[in-house]
């Protein structure tokens, strides 16, 4: 049987509500919207965590963090993903093109070849995303005649906001910048974000300074105008990554393989842009601007009308669904299961089997949330299962530190997402019965989520040092 190719596009830090197909009016995502026009759009797709490492571990293992054990970048290397091993057994060549080398440390064993941009000599300020995309395109041009699974991870719109040449100049010409230029330039941290053009171009050394300062965005207090401009920078990054997505999809079209390729587009998490008072993801960011993501799925052989799945789905469902739609039988032992029946029902196909979907969870070492129907609960994470004594001690020391520093989050938060999609009104005290019901789901989650896999090996000191350096480049300290 000839199975379709698979393109797995994951865009770092992309919020669903900055895409036109999810209701954004700003025309930032022409190419992504074109894909969505004839695809299945998942209205309520949730990441399994609120930042990169655990989110990708869940995506590729179809397990929640309590099972795969990845909560941060201080991780062991995961063994080969059974899901990707299944693809290999059906003749797929598994290729990954990623921006940072830390992917090699904990996901590299799941691919036949993983290419990291950090292995190349690249001017990150102006060329990084373009080079990464071009490498993926060149690989497709050389290997499109064989069944492939291509994972492409694109870093925009993650900070620091690095724009390819041409986008900086467009940024400087914005009405928002023109109206507030003097105020922006006088700001201690935001000022260096606005380089001075020389002959209508931005010198590389100024762009490098811009990148350094943009790492500090999450650590500064800003007023309304400053926040508006940072949001504008984010929107420019969305436009950048939309152009990159368009280039990859157009390559598939030119090569004549788009009609035989499943295209999945999602993000690992979103970004809080002061929606709840801060600029961040990870840490205590558990609201929907961070954990609700786009998921757009294009399936060859189905009619070109768009379909919409309204039910809550998790990233642990993504690969099982893709594999099922590729015509490969999925074993029963995976936590994440295929939502193919809901995909087919969204297209109006007769006989679609829409089995009820379970609640979806999002977990970090500090917090856990559950979404069931219209309700969402956020609460401190009372972990009960640990991979090792060292991990248990580290978790408990972290909790003690939170108590002493006052950063521990004790209050329950309950939201009715249908009536209050912005999560502004905490209903935990008003609807105690609902909160207790969702708390019982979290207790059940912990009771049935012991470690399911063992890490293959500890990271070497060289790998740890490289990951630390790369994370510092992303603004993590």
Could you report the per-residue pLDDT of 10-47, keeping only the tens digit for each?
Answer: 999 999 999 999 999 888 899 999 999 989 999 999 99
Looking at the DSSP assignment, which residues form a beta bridge with residue 262?
6
**Homologous superfamily of domain range 5-162+228-358:** Alkaline Phosphatase, subunit A (3.40.720.10)
Q: How confident is the model at residue 285 (pLDDT cuts 50, 70, 90)?
A: confident
Q: Distance between CA 154 and CA 369 in Å, rounded? A: 27
Q: Distance between CA 368 and CA 363 in Å, rounded? A: 4
79 burial via Cβ count (<10 Å: 0-12, 13-18, 19+): middle
Alpha-carbon dihedral 120, 125, 127, 133, rounded to 10 degrees: 80
Q: Is the dihedral of CA 97, 214, 19, 232 positive or negative?
A: negative
Least confidently predicted of 121-130, 162-171, 393-402: 393-402
Least confidently predicted of 1-15, 194-208, 209-223, 443-457: 194-208
Asked if 78 and 68 count as a contact pair (C-beta separation under 8 A), the reply is yes
Listed ranges 114-128, 192-206, 301-315, 331-345; the one with the highest mean pLDDT: 301-315
**What digits encode the pLDDT tens for the residues 230-239?**
788 888 889 9
Residue ranges covered by each domain of the chain: 5-162+228-358, 361-447
Least confidently predicted of 17-31, 191-205, 330-344, 347-361: 191-205
Instruction: Work out the number of other CB atoms within 10 angstroms of the CB of residue 17.
Output: 14
Instruction: Work out the number of other CB atoms within 10 angstroms of the CB of residue 277.
Output: 7
Instruction: Work out the number of other CB atoms within 10 angstroms of the CB of residue 142.
Output: 9
Q: How confident is the model at residue 456 (pLDDT cuts 50, 70, 90)?
A: very low
Supply the pLDDT for residue 213: 54
Q: What's the predicted TM-score (pTM) here?
A: 0.85
| CATH architecture group of domain 361-447 | 2-Layer Sandwich (3.30)
Asked if 423 and 276 count as a contact pair (C-beta separation under 8 A), the reply is yes
Supply the pLDDT for residue 408: 47
What backbone phi and psi angles, to 5 degrees, belong to 124? -60, -30
**What digits encode the pLDDT tens for the residues 420-448?**
999 999 999 999 999 999 999 999 888 86
What is the average pLDDT across 75-98? 88
**What digits encode the pLDDT tens for the residues 55-71?**
999 999 898 988 888 88
**What digits encode the pLDDT tens for the residues 376-421?**
999 988 765 555 555 555 555 555 555 544 444 557 999 999 999 9
Residue bearing tokens 């530190």: 401
Give the residue from 74, 45, 37 showing the smallest Cα distance to 57: 74
What backbone phi and psi angles, to 5 degrees, belong to 359? -60, 155
Whether the predicted pLDDT of 168 surpasses 70: no
* Three-state DSSP string of the chain: CCCCEEEEEEECCCCHHHCHHHCCCCCCCHHHHHHHHCCEEEEEEECCCCCHHHHHHHHHHCCCHHHHCCCCCCCCECCCCHHHHHHHHCCCEEEEEECCCHHHHHHHHHCCEEEEHHHCCCCCCCCHHHHHHHHHHHHHHHHCCCCEEEEEEECCCCCCCCCCCCHHHHHHCCHHHHHHHHHHHHCCCCHHHCCCCECCECCHHHHHHHHHHHCCHHHCCCCHHHHHHHHHHHHHHHHHHHHHHHHHHHHHHHCCCHHHEEEEEEECCCCEECCCCCEECCCCCCCHHHHEECEEEECCCCCCCCEEEEEEEEHHHHHHHHHHHCCCCCCCCCCCCCCHHHHHHHCCCCCCCCCCCCCEEEECCCEEEEEECCEEEEEECCCCCCCCHHHHHHHHHHHHHHHHHCCCCCCCEEEECCCCCCCCCCCCCCCHHHHHHHHHHHHHHHHCCCCCCCCCECCCHHHHHHHHHHHHHHCCC
């Amino acid at each position: 049987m000839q199975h379709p190719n698979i393109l797995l596009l994951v865009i770092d830090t992309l919020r669903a509500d900055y895409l036109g197909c999810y209701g954004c009016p700003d025309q930032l995502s022409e190419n992504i919207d074109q894909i969505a026009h004839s695809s299945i759009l998942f209205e309520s797709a949730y990441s399994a965590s609120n930042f990169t490492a655990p989110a990708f571990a869940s995506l590729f293992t179809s397990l929640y963090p309590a099972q795969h054990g990845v909560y941060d970048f201080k991780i062991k290397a995961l063994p080969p993903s059974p899901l990707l091993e299944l693809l290999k057994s059906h003749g797929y060549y598994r290729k990954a093109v990623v921006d940072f080398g830390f992917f090699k440390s904990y996901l590299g064993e799941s691919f036949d070849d993983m290419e990291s941009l950090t292995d190349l000599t690249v001017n990150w300020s102006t060329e990084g995303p373009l080079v990464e995309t071009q490498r993926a395109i060149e690989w497709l041009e050389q290997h499109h005649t064989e069944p492939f699974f291509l994972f492409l991870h694109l870093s925009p719109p993650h900070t620091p906001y690095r724009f390819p040449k041409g986008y900086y100049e467009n940024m400087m010409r914005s009405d928002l910048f023109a109206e507030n230029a003097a105020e922006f330039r006088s700001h201690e941290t935001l000022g260096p974000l606005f380089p001075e053009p020389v002959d209508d171009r931005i010198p590389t050394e100024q762009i490098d300074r811009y990148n350094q300062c943009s790492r500090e965005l999450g650590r500064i207090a800003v007023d309304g105008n400053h926040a508006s401009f940072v949001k504008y920078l984010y929107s420019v990054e969305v436009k950048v990554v939309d152009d990159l997505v368009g280039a990859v999809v157009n390559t598939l079209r030119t090569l004549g393989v788009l009609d035989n390729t499943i295209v999945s587009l999602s993000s690992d998490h979103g970004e809080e842009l002061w929606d709840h008072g801060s600029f961040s993801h990870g840490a205590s960011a558990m609201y929907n601007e961070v954990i609700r993501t786009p998921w757009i799925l294009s399936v060859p052989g189905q009619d070109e009308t768009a379909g919409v799945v309204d039910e809550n789905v998790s990233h642990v469902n993504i690969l099982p669904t893709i594999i099922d739609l590729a015509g490969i039988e999925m074993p029963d032992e995976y936590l994440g299961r295929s939502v193919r029946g809901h995909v087919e029902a969204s297209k109006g196909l007769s006989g679609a089997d829409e089995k009820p979907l379970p609640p979806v969870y999002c977990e970090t070492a500090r917090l856990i949330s559950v979404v069931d129907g219209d309700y969402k609960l956020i609460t401190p994470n009372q972990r009960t299962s640990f991979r090792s004594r060292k991990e248990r001690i580290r978790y408990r020391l972290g909790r003690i530190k939170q108590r002493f520093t006052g950063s521990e989050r004790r209050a329950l938060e309950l939201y009715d997402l249908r009536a209050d999609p912005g999560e502004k009104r905490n209903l935990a005290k008003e609807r105690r019965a609902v909160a207790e019901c969702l708390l019982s789901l979290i207790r059940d989650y912990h009771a049935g989520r012991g470690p399911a896999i063992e890490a293959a090996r500890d990271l070497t000191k060289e790998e740890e040092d490289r990951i630390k350096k790369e994370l510092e480049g992303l603004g993590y300290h």
